[in-house]
Structure 1
Amino acid sequence: MKIRNGGPSDASDILSLLDGAISWLAGQERTGQWGDEPFSTNQARVDQVTSYTEDPFLVRLAVDEEGRTIGCCVLAEDRGRFVPPSKEPELYVRLLVTDRTRKGSGIGAALIADAIEETRRRGLDLLRVDCYAGNDRKLVGQYRALGFTETETFEAEQPSGMWPGQVLEIRL
């Protein structure tokens, strides 16, 4: 696996990863995070992913030996709109998604290690992420396993109701 910069031409690969993640989550009856509609069929989500491939975001893609995109991490120096602000400069993981057919192969860990290095390269001491904190908080546990520590919680109003979120951080 290699990690490389991504850009606008990679939006369709990122959408494909997200569609696969939604299908995988729905198959486990875990639709609270992103629902059960593919990102690629929802224009607002297509627009969001497309915006992630442009400045000021940094797209980092994990690709396999054949050049296929198997993971994506989108970084920015600003947080999402529902997330409580930090009191210091930070790098923020705006999106992390991996190929669910390769679950457990270390793609997410490699992308987070890369994000930590990018945080250091920018001279920052804080990497934060937020995630879905509903159901059994399984996703929160996955971020803890990657080295993050839980900080504050928040709720985001969504068309389907309130979305419970958890902010986590790594201090460098």
Structure 2
Amino acid sequence: MRLRQGGPADAPALLETFDATVAWLAAHGRSGQWGDRPWSRDPARVALVEDLAAEGLWVAESGDGAAGFLKLSARAPAHVPPAAEPELYVRLLLVPRGHAGRNTGGRMLAFARRRAREHGAGLVRVDCWVGGDGALVRYYEGRGFTPVQRFTAGGGEYQLFELRV
């Protein structure tokens, strides 16, 4: 696996990954995270994906194409309380189901930690949906993130995590 800087040309693959992930989540009773309809059928979500790609993101690649997507930001999104110190915020971590279980997400989070250190940030933060069976919460805890605050946004409940670097 290698990471490369992505851009607008990656929007179709990112949208396809969202669609496949939404279908998988819905099939497993987790539609509360991102809904149960393909994002490609929702103009607002298509625009969101296009914006994510245009702003720049990291794309993990393997021999058979995109293995994951990572969006990092120097500050938290508006729905999250700001950090009191320099941080790197994981805005998106998305791994296609075909690459699940290969530690792709873990390697991308390790990359985020390295980027934070390189940019003088001592903190990496991320938030995730807490519904379903709690798998996302356990995922981030298993990668060393500490839960610091729960909050509600857009009708859902989320957990904010932080990791010191």
TM bucket, shorter chain: over 0.9
* 8 Å CA contact 2:30, 2:131 repeated in 1: no
* CA distance in structure 1 between the aligned counterparts of 2:28 and 2:128, rounded to whole angstroms: 18
Alignment correspondent of 2:47: 47
Aligned partner of 2:14 in structure 1 is 14
How many angstroms apart in 2 are the aligned matches of 1:78 and 1:45?
22
- Measure, in 2, the Cα distance between the counterparts of 1:119 and 1:75: 10
Deviations 1:96-124 (A, max 9, x none): 10011221111111111111111111111
The alignment's TM-score, normalised by the length of structure 2, stands at: 0.95
- In the alignment, structure 2 segments of 5+ residues that lack a partner are none
Structure with greater proportional helix content: 2
Q: How far off its partner does 1:54 sit?
A: 2.9
Residues 1:164 and 2:157 are matched in the alignment: yes
Normalised TM-score (structure 1):
0.91
Q: Residue 139 in 1 paired to residue 125 in 2?
A: no
> C-alpha separation between the residues in 1 aligned to 2:118 and 2:19?
32
Task: Say whether residues 1:75 and 2:68 are aligned partners.
Answer: no
C-alpha contact (below 8 Å) 2:29/2:132 kept by paired residues: no
| 1:34-79 residue CA offsets vs partner (Å, 9 max, x unmatched) | 0111121111111111111234xx411111124x111001011121
Report if aligned partners of 1:150, 1:169 keep a CA contact under 8 Å in 2. Answer: yes
1:60 aligns with 2:53: no
Identity %: 39
Q: CA deviation at 1:135?
A: 2.8
Which of 95, 98, 103 pairs up with 1:101? 98
* Counterparts of 2:141 and 2:40, CA distance in 1: 29
Q: How many residues align?
A: 165
Q: How far apart, in 2, do the equivalents of 1:78 and 1:141 lie?
A: 24
